Amino acid sequence: MRRAAIISLIVGMALGCVAGAIIQSRQGDPSLSEKPYVVSVNQRTGKPQLHVKGKPELE
């Protein structure tokens, strides 16, 4: 009984580590998961503006 509990504990920890590694690898680069587009309102004109991350601002 004690041996089965120890083996179950080891197998559970191994599966937990594998599941964590798979989830971490599927998330990818955190900088890419951020939204590349941001919409804001120009306070002077009241018109919406679209900002693209990594691109220069166009007027």
- How confident is the model at residue 56, as a pLDDT? 61
Which residues are within 8 A (CB) of 13 and not within 5 positions of it... i.e. 6 or more apart? none
- How confident is the model at residue 43, as a pLDDT? 80
What is the amino acid identity at position 16? G
- How confident is the model at residue 34, as a pLDDT? 64
DSSP, collapsed to helix, strand or coil, labels residue 48 as strand
Residue 59 in this model has a pLDDT that exceeds 90: no
Q: Is the pTM of this model over 0.75?
A: no
pLDDT tens-place string over residues 2-56: 999 999 999 999 999 999 888 887 766 555 556 667 778 878 888 888 777 665 6
